[in-house]
Amino acid sequence: MIINAWSDVFKKKYGSTFPENYLCLDTEYTGGSSEKDLVLEIGHAMVSDRKIIDGFSLVLNWYIHPEVSSPWLDYKLNNLRNFMGKDWQLTPDFLKSRGRDPIESLRFYYKLFCTWGDSGGMFVGQNGLTADERMISGAFQRFLGKSWKFPENQYLDTGAIFKATEIAKRQDLSHLHDIVLPHRSESPKEYSRRICSLRLSGLSWKLDKIIETYPVSSAMEKAARHTAGYDAELLHHVMESYRSEITEKVGQDDPQAEYRKAQAKWERDSKKAASVSAEVEDETQGRRTTPEPKQFPEPKRENKRSQRRL
């Protein structure tokens, strides 16, 4: 679990310990344009002491909004149904019968997110910066005239954590092992954005893939998949599955422990590389030798953990 390798400096930015109180959120929308497309559903799961204490979703009935073209919305929703399959619930009839006033719904979530953020609460999303934050903030600005973003030190991404962990496990991606660690100056939000933006073929980190690796309770109805409320609840289960793998305490009591661990790994890797490398000709001695591993560099005093390796 990549979280075990995060430095204490980075962890302090979100409170030092993996959050026990957080707000999971998810959205469904007509398309990827924050200026032209519409948010169809917003869902949340509010977690306190690792348990969900509140959660639901609101479907937004844009058919009643005077600025939205009904034929355009019909076209968008029918295309989504064809693409997502028969279990996709957000059809024209569903919005008309079950949807709420879109402006009132946006006002509700704007107030909820601002209140949660002002209280210092952590937000949790799945690829939430590319999708949820961009679409929600676009809707708030477009229809409410209000700006909103995830706070820098109050956002963690389940997809970024999973993706970084999978990269760290793979020997064929060892050249990326340093990259998936947080930079000293990065906020949790910046780290999440950077990891999510890494492009690697053959590495899936979608929510479906994550719950294959970290199975959730069978009590959750599969028929509700791809609804914002259900997926927000899924993120809670994923977060608690991640927590179960957080075991490492290195660096909290001994600031040199992480450096020594990285040094030992570096020396092992160097010796292994030397043992499999071709023998080189020692021209001055007239014999064949193998290169000696280089000396592991000493850390700088002001940045003792900068040499950490997975």
Please check the confidence at residue 223 and state whether its pLDDT lies above 70: no
Q: Which of residues 187, 217, 244 is at a domain's end?
A: 244
Beta partners for residue 55, in sequence order: 45
Please check the confidence at residue 254 and state whether its pLDDT lies above 70: no
**Of the candidate ranges 11-25, 76-90, 203-217, 244-258, the one whose mean pLDDT is the lowest:** 244-258
- Give the global pTM: 0.77
| Rounded average pLDDT over 102-116 | 97
What strands lie across the sheet with 22-29, from one edge to the other? 51-59, 39-48, 22-29, 122-125, 155-157
At position 269, the amino acid (one-letter code) is: D
Q: How confident is the model at residue 303 (pLDDT cuts 50, 70, 90)?
A: very low
Please check the confidence at residue 224 and state whether its pLDDT lies above 80: no
Locus of tokens 């997502």: 84
Same domain as 308, residue 193: no
Q: Which of residues 217, 244, 271 is at a domain's end?
A: 244
* Residue range of the domain that includes 271: 257-310
- 14-23 pLDDT per residue, tens: 999 999 999 9
| Rounded average pLDDT over 237-266 | 64
Q: Residue 52: which CATH number?
A: 3.30.420.10
Same domain as 110, residue 14: yes
| Rounded average pLDDT over 249-266 | 48
Please check whether residue 258 is in contact with residue 305, taking contact to mean a CB–CB distance below 8 angstroms: yes
| Rounded average pLDDT over 209-233 | 76
Q: Is residue 73 part of a domain?
A: yes
User: What single DSSP character describes residue 63?
Assistant: G
Same domain as 135, residue 51: yes
Please check the confidence at residue 200 and state whether its pLDDT lies above 50: yes
Same domain as 101, residue 18: yes
Same domain as 79, residue 147: yes
- 144-193 pLDDT per residue, tens: 999 999 999 999 999 999 999 999 888 777 888 888 999 999 999 999 99
What's the pLDDT at 270?
Answer: 53
What's the pLDDT at 269?
Answer: 58
**Of the candidate ranges 18-32, 146-160, 195-209, the one whose mean pLDDT is the lowest:** 195-209
Q: Is residue 250 part of a domain?
A: no
What's the pLDDT at 32?
Answer: 87
Please check the confidence at residue 67 and state whether its pLDDT lies above 70: yes
**Of the candidate ranges 99-108, 150-159, 263-272, the one whose mean pLDDT is the lowest:** 263-272
Average per-residue pLDDT in the chain?
Answer: 83
Angstrom distances, CA of residue 202 to CA of 9, 126, 129, 289: 32, 19, 22, 40
Please check the confidence at residue 111 and state whether its pLDDT lies above 80: yes
Provide CB contacts within 8 A for 214, sequence distance 6+: 237, 238, 241, 242
Same domain as 274, residue 186: no
Please check whether residue 1 is in contact with residue 242, taking contact to mean a CB–CB distance below 8 angstroms: yes
| Rounded average pLDDT over 27-56 | 95
Q: Is residue 251 part of a domain?
A: no
**Structural domains in the chain (count):** 2
Q: Is residue 252 part of a domain?
A: no
Same domain as 174, residue 118: yes
Locus of tokens 């929703």: 77
What's the pLDDT at 65?
Answer: 97
User: What single DSSP character describes residue 298?
Assistant: P
- 293-302 pLDDT per residue, tens: 444 444 444 4
Angstrom distances, CA of residue 248 to CA of 4, 8, 13, 49, 166: 5, 11, 18, 21, 18
Q: How confident is the model at residue 260 (pLDDT cuts 50, 70, 90)?
A: very low
What's the pLDDT at 264?
Answer: 55
Same domain as 275, residue 194: no
Same domain as 191, residue 94: yes
Locus of tokens 């790994």: 265
Q: Is residue 165 part of a domain?
A: yes
Torsion sign over Cα 218, 223, 224, 226:
positive
Same domain as 173, residue 273: no
Same domain as 74, residue 154: yes
| Rounded average pLDDT over 109-129 | 96
Same domain as 219, residue 264: no
Beta strand 51-59 with 280-282 is unpaired
